[in-house]
Structures are given as C-alpha cells and as structure tokens.
Amino acid sequence: MLLGTAPIAAATLAAFTLGAGPATDATLAATTVQDDDGPRTSWIVTADEIHTATGRVIEGGFVRIGDGKITAVGRGKIAGDFHVAAITPGLVECSSGLSVGQRSVEQDSESTPHVSVEEGLDLFSTRWERELRRGVTTACVAPDDRNVLGGLPVVVKTGGGEPTMDDRVIKTRVGVRAAMGSEPSAGNSPVFGRAFGLFNRRPTTRMGVEWVFRRTFYDALRAQQDDDFTFEGVETVNQVLAGELPLFIQAAPRQDLMTALGLKAEFSIPNVVIDAAAEVIPEADAVVASGASLIFAPLEFDGTASVEGAQLPWNAPAHMAELGVTFALSARSTGNADYSLAMQPAHAIRGGLDPVKALEAVTIVPARLLGVDDLVGSIEQGKHADLVFWSGAPFQYTSSVTGVMVGGELAVDPRHGEEL
Amino acid sequence: MISTLSAAALLLSSCAASGQGSVAAPLAGPTVTGAVVSAPLVAAPLEASFVRHEVVVEAAAPAADVLAVRAGHLHMADGSIVEDGVLLVRDGLVTAAGADVAVPDGARVVEHDGHVSAGLVAAYSAGYLPRDEANENTRAYLPDGRVVHGFDPELSALEDALEQGVTSLLLAPGTSQVVGGRTAVVKTSGGRVVTPNAHLALSMGAPAASTARTPTSYAGIVSGLDARFADAEGAYAEAKSGNLGLLTYVSARHEVDRALRLFERHELKGALVGPTLAGELAERIRASGCSVVLPNPPLVLDERTHDAMAALFEAQVPFAFWLSDPHEFRASAIVALRAGATRAQALASITSTAADIARVGTSVGKLLRGHDADFVLWSGDPLEFTTSVEAVYVRGELVHTAGHHGDDQ
Amino acid sequence: MLTLEPTRLKAAVRACALGAALVAAPTALAQTSDSLVIEAGRIVVDSQTEIEDGVLVIQGGRVAAVGKRGEVEVPWEAPVLGGPEFTAFPGFVEAYSARGMDRANERIDVAPFLDVRDSIDPINLYFQDCLRWGITTVNVQQGPDCVIGGRGRLVKPVGITIDEMTVRPGYGLVLSAAPKSGLSRATQAGTMREAFGELRRYLEGIVQDAKDGGDYARREALAQGRELEGEAAKGRPFQSTASWSIDGLEMIPRGAIDGKQGPLLDLVEGRVPAFFHCGGPHDVHLALETAKQNGFLERTTLVLQPECWKAASAIAEAGVPVIHTGPMVHTETDPVTGEETETFVLEVYRDKGIDFSLSSQNSSTSSLWYQAARAVGHGLTREQAIDAVTVAPARALGMADHLGTLGEGRLANVVLLSGDPLATTTMVEHVIVEGAHAYDRSKDPRNQILFEGADPLDNLRSDG
C-alpha cells in the first residue's frame, strides 16, 4: 500500500542514506543508550514504509535517532527498538489557535503588528497533549483574530522537555498576523452616539477592517518618507513591506480573499500567506497571479469551512495543486478527531489530491511557510526527531496514528498505545 | 495595676468605638521606641496623617510594669516548643521568651496550661477593606496608590479575624490592576498600622487583562511592566532596590512562568500570591528567590494539589496563606502539615514566615525580644482542629477573650 | 459502463429542486423490464465472500442469482448496469436514525401513539445524502429526547411519498433511559415506570369493567370512531414474559384498546421491537431492568452513546444487540489532572461478544462506509467493520433475510463503488434500491458542489 511513489533504486538509495553504512550495518543496533536522566531520546525504529517528505519513500527502512535528533535514515533490515508499519514526519500545524484566548491579543488598538504572542501562551494546557497524541509535533500560535493586525505568531513544539519557553518555543517573529472578515469588527460599536469605552471604534464592518489595514500600511509608507512621523510597530510593518516577514491573512470567504489579494497588490507585499483559505476555486486565477501561498481551512464533510461559513469543496487542494499554488493543510486544533491534522490529508486525497503532495502539505510545506524547515518538517539527518507512527499506509481512513515521537521522546508508544 | 489596665482597656475600646481622632501620644521613651521598631526601613518617612490610626497604648504605668505569661507550651521563634516556658512583656514588646526566664518581682503573672504562640499573621488578605477600596478600575498602573488610605479599623471583619487569633494582616489592592499600589500591614485590634508601605503590588493574573481598559492581554501587561522597570523610577526603583517589597498576584501556572521570566529580566523577586499549583514549578520558584502565598486549600486535598504543596515544602520555598474567611486561616496551616510540611514550617506559615513575606518580620510574628507582644493563648496545640482561641493579646494588652471582648482575666 | 440512461434533468430544475428532482427521477424511470443485471469487477456478497469478475441478476426487486460471469445464467433481455471498474457492495443499512423528519423529538414525555409517518419528509436532504453515501435502508425513529416515544418505520431513501418509501410500517418503539432534557434521572425512571404502571391499571380497569358486565372499552372505541371488525373484534389473552400479567384480557376486543395504551401493550407482548437509548452506563441498567420487567427484553436493541462501554458486561450478559452512536473513541478527562484517556469502544464490545452496529448519526455527518473504515483504523478487522454496517444492523432490524448481503433472495439493494469499499478515494458511483437505479454520481449536482468545486449559485447567474 504505497502512496504512489515507486521505490528508488538501490544505487541512488546508497547516496540518499545519510550517515549510515551498508544496509546491514549491525553496529547501528548497538548504541541506543544515553547518559543523562530523563526520558529516552535515542532510538532505532524500523518500518515497512518511511515517508520522508523529501520526495522519496523508503521501503523496509530504519530511522536512527540520537539525543533527540535524526542521525540517519536508510533502507535495510536491521534490528531496531521497535517496528511499525509506516513512519511520517511529525505533523506541522500552521494555524493552531492554541493561545490563551482573548488575552493573547492586545486590543488597545486594532492594529498591533509589533506585539508578539509569546506572552499569550499557556504551555501547561492539556490541549498540547491532545495535539501531540494526534500526531502534531509543531504548531504555530498566532494572536486571536480580534484585531485587524494582531501581532507576531510563534512556533511551538507540542511536547518534549519541560513546558518552558526555552524548551518549547522554537521560533518567534514568524510573521505578522492579519484578519479580514467579521471577527475583528465584532465587539466594536460606533464611535458616535454612545458612551465612550475601549471598543467604541472602527472597524464595525468589513469596510472598516480594510480601512484599518490600509491606514497602517499607508502610515508605514509615510514613515519611510517622513522622519518626524512614526508609530508603534512601524519597523515590523516595514519588514512586511520588504518581504522580510511573511504576512498571514485570514481570508476564508471569496470577498475576503479578494480583499486580501487586492491589498497585497496595492502595497506590493512580497510574501503573503492566506490562512483559512476556502473559496479559492472561483478566484483561482487571481490566486495564481498573486503568488500568494495558502493555508486551507479544515476540510469537513458538509463542504463548508468553520470560518465564516465559507464553501470549501473537497477538491480545492487538488485544484490548487494542479495550478502550482503552494499550500498547506490545517486543522485549527479542532476537538473533532475526524477533522484533525492527521485526517486532513485523507480528505484532500479523497478530493483528488496526489498523496505525495498531501503528505508534504502537512509536513515540509508548513515548515517552510513558518520558516522552521531547517529544524522540522521532514525525516532528514540533523532535524528534530519528530515522527508519527502509523498502523498502515498513512493518511488512509483505514489507518490510525499508533505512536508519536517528539524531540526523540516517545510521547505515544506504538508498542502499547499508552502514553509514557 | 489592674485598674490602670482596665482604664487602658476602656481607653482602647472607647477609641475603637469612636474610630475618630487621635489619642495624644506621649512621646515618652518606650512609645517612640515602639514606633521605630515597628516601621521597616523605608526611604519615605511615615506621613503624619497616619498618626490618626495609631492608637498607642498609654504607657502610664511605671517602667517596672511587666507582664509575665507562664505557658504550658511556648512556641518559640525558631520553631521549637518550650515546655513551661515564660514570656515577658513590657511596654508592648517582648523582652524575653524561653525556658530559663526569671519572672521579676512585681510582675503581673498570667498562667496558661495550654499553648502560647505569636499572634497569627496573614501575608495577604481579601475582604478586610471596605468593599470598594480594593478595586481601582480606572487605571491599570497606580504605583503610588496606598491601600492604607482605605483602612477602616472599625470593619467587623477585623474583629472576626482577631477572634481567630490573627493579630496582623496585610492589606492589598485588588487583582484587577496591573500595578495596584502599595500594600500595608495593620493590626486587627486598635487600628495600628505596622507599615503603610510594605510592597509594590502587581497583578499578572487574568483579571489584570481586562476588556474595560488597556492592557487587554498578557502581552500588554508584560510590555507595560517591562517599560516601567527598565528605566525604573519612583516605586519601581524602590522595588528594584529592595527598599520596597514586591507582591504579585498570579493564579495559573503559565502566569507564574510569565512572572518569573519578568523578574529575571529585571532582577526582581518577591511574593507570588494565589497560585494553587505553584509547587509544580517549585524548583524555578526556589531558584528565583520568590516566596508563595497560597489560597486556602480545601480540607481534603485532591492528589494533584497535595503533590504540588508537598513539592513546594520539599523545595524549601517560603510559603504563607492568604486570609479571607478567618476560620479557614489556621486550618490552612493544618492542611499543610498533613500534606507534608514540618510542624515548624506549618506554624511559621501563619506566623513568622508570613511576617517575613509581609516585610514586617522584624516586629511581628515571633516571640522574640524586641518584637511586638502579640500572642495568643490556645486551648491546645494550634495545629489541631480541636483547638480554639482562649485569649488574644496585642502589644501586651488583652484584647480578646473567648466568650467576651476586652475583659480582664 | 452505464447503459441505462436516466432522464435528462433541466438545469433550472436541478438548481431549484435538487432533492425533489433527484428523488423523483428513479420512480420516473421505472424499468421497462422487471430484470436488471449488474456487472462488477468485484462483488462483495458479504464480509466473508467476494467474487471476482461477477454478475448479479435482479428480478422483481430481489437478487435472483449472483456469481462469476459465465457461471450465472443471465436473462438476455435485461438491461445491464456496471462494468469491470466497479465494486458491488450490499446497500448500507442505517440501524437507527432520527433524521429526515421535520423535528426529531416531541415535547411529550410519553407518546407511544405517535408515528413517524406523520413527520418523515421525503424530500429532506438527509435522504438524498443517504443515497450519496450508499445507504439503502433507514430505520427512522423518533429521537432520544423523550421517555417513551412513538412508532418508527423502515424506509428506503427513494420515493416522493411516504408510502413509496416504506419498507416496513409501524416498526419499532423508542424508549430512553437517558433523561429527557429538563428531567432528572429520578424523574425519568419514575415516568417510565409510571407509564407501564398506567398500562397495567388501564388493562385491569377495562377487564374488571367487562367482568362486572360493563362495556366501557367497546363503547369508548366506537365513540372514538374506531371500527371493531375482523381481527379487531377478537380478544386475546395476555401473553408476555413480563413480571406481571393481566387475567381476562381475552374478554376485551383488541381493537377497543386505547390508542395510547395499545402500542405499549404490543411492546409488552413482544410484538414490536424496542429501541432503547442510553447515554451512559447507569442508563443501561435502567433500560435492561425496564425491558426485563415488562417483557420486551428479547426484542430490545440498545442505542448507545460512547460512555456506555463501561456497562459492557451487563449488556453482554443480557444478550441484547446494540447500535453505537457518537464517536467511536470515547475520551474522558480526569477532573483533577486534566489528562485525557481514550477508549476504543467497539473493541470493548467485540471482546465481550456484543453484537454491535455502527450508525452514521453523529456530529460530523459522516457516513457508514467512513465509520467502517475508521473502525478498521482503530483496530477492528475488515470483516468485523463491514458486518457492523451491513449484516449487524440488518439483524438488529429483524431483516437479516432481506438485507445486508448480496445473497440470493435478498432485496436488491446494491451499491456500485469506484474501488474498495473502505478505501479513502472510493466513491459511491451508483445506487440500486430494490432493483431500481436510484443514484448516479455523475448526475448529482450536490456532488459537484461538494467535490468538484462547482459554484452552488452557478445556475442563477445571468449567462445561463
């Protein structure tokens, strides 16, 4: 039960098998002991299929892990600590929503592009364990979409080590978060005619949302020209304009998507990622022309996205793949097991997406969009030992996640299905 | 002597009843000494307006007037218990306490078979200010707000606390301000202010991130505090230098984590008030030098809270309990004992350690020479549920007897 | 390939009345002959039996023959449907559903006199979805928010009148051990007992009246306009395994029994299957006890929420079949630590030897084939999963001889799939219900919207 790629010839495999000797290197089996206290972080795992997300599938191979990093991946029959049917890289969730909620976004202004969500994390929450159990080893947390420009997301590991900022946060200043749509305007009321309070301000409509966005970017452009003019966050906005920081814009329904792409064009923002993408097919040409990347809203059985009730047909990822658009799948850390990130590729495959692209859309592509592809997102030497173990071919309805490893720690043990 | 004491007692109760006006404080030696001892070393001098609340025990008696308490069990400052100990009190202060203490001739002697300990100290309290005094909702940063201005010695809650053996408690601003102002320590009887300036009170808990005003997020709280401590002036500078204590309300573990990281950035330390599961971060709290004031635990602990408390004790983090319902206050120390604290740690959490955390450890909370003679006569071991208060003395004066108030024994 | 041409639907009709048009089409194209032949690259007769390159002959709405091509005699005049690229599979059986009605629940606590025939809506999108997912038989019952509900009905998801849809009328009565919203557990149990108590008192009353020479029952019936003719005029003695009984019931003509008490009497006498809802393990005990005491345990099927796995031993001992509803993995949160533990419920039932069916009535609106695939993912064998959506529900509905497999004599409910029944990329391409071609995916407009990104508002745009 392959994902569709043919196994590669032994000769090229030898070149690909990084760091390991001949296929039956018995010495590999020996050294999995570690010195320090704490959970074990060195292993050898064998599998019938290893989907590395580098474009190759290894049949009958092994992954060697040392001190939480991948030290070797290759083909061959060796004695390992345990054997599983299939291995994929740990899943990378681009749009998790696992912040502390409304206290993750500073609402003293609708435009706070400079505020990092680092202080809006609760690393002790049990939701991280649930994500980890379902195969997600890396997640991006953004400020809640109550502001038009909410601030700077961070990338967090869902497990491994202690729940401290040092152990878990692997990247800050991932980009800038923006939202079109109704969420930023909800809760505001008109400036005139009522008692004054914090939320008597724009925007109260989508029009207002766009206005706030454009005002911020116009101000940044103005600040570039006028030395006497500045505002809090101007450096961050300028970095977005220069393409140094990606801009993640939530835009699910068609009109929000068009607004977002329009703003991208208006300010020539080089690096834009549309989050909660849903109604992209009707505007496929515009999406392609803009060069934006996408993070899809979770695919659901009734064909609508949970964001703004937008339409999300199952073939949307496949259609975008045909057009060469870069996209990731996401699950927004939903509580519903049928729509989790481990299930999204199966739904996309059902909608016609190529299985290899489906795997990449939850591993290396999100890692690249978040700028952490040097650390996670594929099974390659030197990267974090984040692995998901499957009961059969991955991303099939008849397969399940039986084990999860993060940073070399076995969070869910496929041997007994229990958490260590 | 009895008549003088009754007169003093009458004076005391009449002042308490009127709640107004100051009693002319003869600035004779002992009284002044008393005043100096009870104020911590602060840069800002005691303001004259506080004299209003200072009811000084009339030291009209001659200097040889000594109260001697013979206790069946005397709880010492170091945590030990002395059988048949003696406590000597003069002019409102402890002059001696221990095993081999001679009772001077002419001393008034009180015999007590049961236990005698220092008066209980609460390192944090809620509900001991008039209702609206603890919440300044208009501004998130009010470093010079002084909660002592809201202190009302007539509040009946103070009497309730006194009847349960609490002689000193800390008054703090509410938890909805990021910087609420300066805490104060007061006596529960007589309206005396031990110090009007104990700590700078911060809140980094959920109530401080309000949608009524900015900041609305944790990030906002942190950036506001970072800015103020970075180029520290006024109260912030005092807190950094250690002249003023620091008291921070936090509840969830991630709030504790956030506070510890803030402290690290600015080399701060202080008391963390409110985190029930602080023990799960015990090592880090220990390393930071912070102490913890815990909410009153339930009498029957669930496994998790139990383990967290035990971890805190093992890591030797100084801890105390907060006072809301006075009946639960001493019970908290008993629960701590049952969760693995030593007897010394448990009793100290409501006496000496609490006083240290409240920054008044040099004047209350211990039966030690030079400290205020605040002590309680217990019917038995104070760390037993069956024990009750028999009498309470504040500054050497009997202010409460079980069954009646203010009578002479 | 498809040789049977469905009537071409106009674009406007398609846009405006998707449901009605789709459901109307099959009956409009009643076959010209009574026979139909289905060819498939693989025929899954049941979970144990598969035939490569097979042929299925349908006559009179039933499977007349099934076997390998060349080994089965095929009527030369019959139309042929299918082809080597299809896999034929028995139509899925929905063992319990409260959908397809205008409202699933009534406000009345005890309402056995109600019947779903009055609330089923033939053009409800639910029935269209059933065809889309390959469900060919649905047991429509009142929802669980009651104490004792009304009578249900077995239907097929084709037809524009309820009569056309009906497979078996007046089938099943719903009871709930899980408290109706607003009621406490004690009140629920009390109301349940009281309902049976009232039945007893009523029967004793009319029997006593008859013994005293009165004619109350008959007069009431006539006053209510009920005819007492034929079978209805005859009396029958009380016959039940209940812990109580009524002497002299034969004195009362059956037709004279009150409309509210009649269905309950049928239940107690084992004439009608009971579908008993349970929200948790305590409910299971109440349900089993009630059923046993009132004589209908033999005909009870439990409809279970996930937490009921904890009562698996009691269920196994009582020997009743169950219908599992809700997620198949039960997650429990430790109230102290917040840690979550997961239990694969179906494995517990399987290991205890409980006969269980899956149902698609859950929050994600996902269907039976999906449930079966996920069950395999979590640890059931392929055979067990397929059984749970075909023969097990057929058994629970007393239709084991008619539904659930493609064996000879069964009703010709066949699904033609584009691949393996449990594979991720397999689609339902055609559905045949009792020998009539009821669904063709290539003509399904909603499929185009769901799967191919067609714009739902396409037909309303000006250039059409």
Concatenating the DSSP letter of every residue in B34-84 gives HHHHHS---SSPPPGGGGGG-------S-TT-EEEEEEEEEE-TTS-EEEE
What pLDDT is stored for residue C363 in this prediction? 41
Query: A384-394 pLDDT, tens per residue?
Result: 999 999 999 99
pLDDT band for position A223 (cuts 50, 70, 90): very high
Query: C293-308 pLDDT, tens per residue?
Result: 999 999 999 999 999 9
CB-closest option in A300, A397, A400 to C370 = A397
Check CB contact under 8 Å for C363 and A336.
Answer: yes
Question: Is B107 a member of any domain?
Answer: no
List C90's β-bridge partners, or say none: C414
Question: Is B138 a member of any domain?
Answer: yes
What is the residue type of B325? D
Q: Identify which of A323, A364, A281 has the alpha carbon closest to the alpha carbon of residue A94.
A: A364
3 state DSSP class of B121: strand
CB distance C132 to C439 below 8 Å: yes
Q: Identify which of B355, B377, B357 has the alpha carbon closest to the alpha carbon of residue B366.
A: B355
CB distance B119 to B393 below 8 Å: yes
What residues of B are in contact with residue A103 (Cβ under 8 Å)? 206, 209, 216-218
Res A327 pLDDT > 60: yes
* Cα–Cα distance, C455 to C448 (Å, whole number): 9
| Pick from A323-332, B15-24, C243-252: least confident | B15-24
Residue of A nearest to B219 (CA): A119
Q: Domains of chain C, with CATH numbers?
A: 11-91+406-460 (2.30.40.10), 94-182+271-396 (3.20.20.140), 185-258 (no CATH)
Please tell me if residue B252 touches chain A, with a CB cutoff of 8 Å.
yes
What pLDDT is stored for residue A351 in this prediction? 93
Check CB contact under 8 Å for C450 and A314.
Answer: yes
What pLDDT is stored for residue C365 in this prediction? 55
What pLDDT is stored for residue A38 in this prediction? 83
Preceding omega of B215 cis (within 30 degrees of 0): yes
* Cα–Cα distance, A356 to A5 (Å, whole number): 8
What pLDDT is stored for residue A183 in this prediction? 86
Check CB contact under 8 Å for B212 and A198.
Answer: yes
Q: How far is CA C270 from CA C141, C200, C201, C299, in A?
A: 18, 16, 19, 6
Res A66 pLDDT > 80: yes
Q: How far is C53 from chain A (nearest CA, A)?
A: 22
Q: In a mutagenesis test of the C interface, which of B304, B306, B307, B309 is the best target, namely the one with the most C β-carbons within 10 Å?
A: B304
Show which subunits contact A, needing at least 3 CB pairs below 8 angstroms: B, C
Query: C221-250 pLDDT, tens per residue?
Result: 888 888 788 888 888 899 999 999 999 998
3 state DSSP class of A90: coil
What pLDDT is stored for residue C79 in this prediction? 93
Token match 């599938």: residue?
A: A57
What is the residue type of A21? G
Check CB contact under 8 Å for A300 and C364.
Answer: yes
What is the residue type of B68? A
What residues of A are in contact with residue C370 (Cβ under 8 Å)? 397
pLDDT band for position A11 (cuts 50, 70, 90): very low
* Cα–Cα distance, C278 to A281 (Å, whole number): 44
What pLDDT is stored for residue A138 in this prediction? 97
What residues of B are in contact with residue C339 (Cβ under 8 Å)? none
CA dihedral C424, C425, C426, C429 (to 10 degrees): 140
The helix (H) or strand (E) run that includes residue B193 is strand B193-195
Q: In a mutagenesis test of the C interface, which of A255, A398, A399 is the best target, namely the one with the most C β-carbons within 10 Å?
A: A398
| Pick from A53-62, A181-190, C13-22: least confident | C13-22
Question: Is B140 a member of any domain?
Answer: yes
pLDDT band for position B27 (cuts 50, 70, 90): very low
What residues of A are in contact with residue B213 (Cβ under 8 Å)? 198
* % pLDDT > 90, chain B: 74
* Cα–Cα distance, B125 to C401 (Å, whole number): 75
* Cα–Cα distance, B360 to B187 (Å, whole number): 12
* Cα–Cα distance, A158 to A177 (Å, whole number): 21
Question: Is B362 a member of any domain?
Answer: no
pLDDT band for position B34 (cuts 50, 70, 90): very low
Q: What is the CATH number of domain A92-370?
A: 3.20.20.140
Query: C163-181 pLDDT, tens per residue?
Result: 999 999 989 999 999 999 9
Res B20 pLDDT > 80: no
- Predicted ipTM? 0.84
Whichever domain contains B257, its CATH number is 3.20.20.140
Q: Residue C204 CB: number of other CB atoms within 10 A?
A: 15
What pLDDT is stored for residue A30 in this prediction? 42
Q: Which alpha helices (DSSP H) does A77-205 contain, by range? A: 127-133, 165-168
Question: Is B13 a member of any domain?
Answer: no
First to last CA, chain C: 30
pLDDT band for position A195 (cuts 50, 70, 90): low
Please tell me if residue A392 touches chain C, with a CB cutoff of 8 Å.
yes
* Cα–Cα distance, B242 to B259 (Å, whole number): 17
Res A26 pLDDT > 70: no
Between C430 and A415, where is the model more confident? C430
Q: Which residues contact C107 (CB under 8 A, 6 or more apart)?
A: none
pLDDT band for position A182 (cuts 50, 70, 90): confident
Average pLDDT of the residues in A235-245: 96
What residues of C are in contact with residue B303 (Cβ under 8 Å)? 336
Scanning A120-159 for CB atoms below 8 A from B yields: 120-125, 143, 151
Please tell me if residue B281 touches chain A, with a CB cutoff of 8 Å.
no
CB-closest option in A120, A197, A198 to B217 = A120
The helix (H) or strand (E) run that includes residue A215 is helix A206-225
CB distance A63 to A86 below 8 Å: no
CB-closest option in A303, A311, A397 to C374 = A397
Res A141 pLDDT > 70: yes
What residues of A are in contact with residue C366 (Cβ under 8 Å)? 301, 338
Q: Which residue segment(s) compose the domain that B280 sits in?
A: 121-357
Q: In a mutagenesis test of the C interface, which of A338, A343, A402, A412 is the best target, namely the one with the most C β-carbons within 10 Å?
A: A338
CATH number for domain A10-89+380-419, candidates 3.40.50.300, 2.30.40.10, 1.10.1580.10, 3.90.600.10: 2.30.40.10
What pLDDT is stored for residue B295 in this prediction? 95
Please tell me if residue A316 touches chain C, with a CB cutoff of 8 Å.
yes
* % pLDDT > 70, chain B: 83
Q: How far is C172 from chain A (nearest CA, A)?
A: 30
Please tell me if residue A169 touches chain B, with a CB cutoff of 8 Å.
no
CB-closest option in C339, C340, C377 to A398 = C377
Write out residues in chain C with pLDDT < 50, as ranges.
Answer: 1-32, 363-364, 462-464
Concatenating the DSSP letter of every residue in B253-312 gives HHHHHHHHHHHHHHT---EEES-TTGGGGHHHHHHHT-EEEEPPPPSS--HHHHHHHHHH
The sign of the torsion formed by the CA atoms of B206, B207, B211, B217 equals negative
Res A241 pLDDT > 60: yes
CB distance A21 to A30 below 8 Å: no
What pLDDT is stored for residue A420 in this prediction? 33
Question: Is B390 a member of any domain?
Answer: no
Check CB contact under 8 Å for A107 and B214.
Answer: yes
Question: Is B403 a member of any domain?
Answer: no
Domain ranges (residues) in chain A: 10-89+380-419, 92-370
| Pick from A197-201, B216-220, B359-363, C420-424: least confident | A197-201
What pLDDT is stored for residue A419 in this prediction? 37
3 state DSSP class of A88: strand
pLDDT band for position B404 (cuts 50, 70, 90): low
Size of interface A-B (CB pairs under 8 A): 70
Q: What is the pTM of this model?
A: 0.84
* % pLDDT > 90, chain A: 75
What pLDDT is stored for residue C107 in this prediction? 81
Check CB contact under 8 Å for A316 and C453.
Answer: yes
Tokens of B312: 């805190």
Query: C70-88 pLDDT, tens per residue?
Result: 999 999 889 999 999 999 9
Q: In a mutagenesis test of the A interface, which of C328, C342, C420, C425 is the best target, namely the one with the most A β-carbons within 10 Å?
A: C425
Token match 């003395």: residue?
A: B393
Tokens of A121: 């994390």
Between C102 and A180, where is the model more confident? A180
DSSP 8-state symbol, B316: T
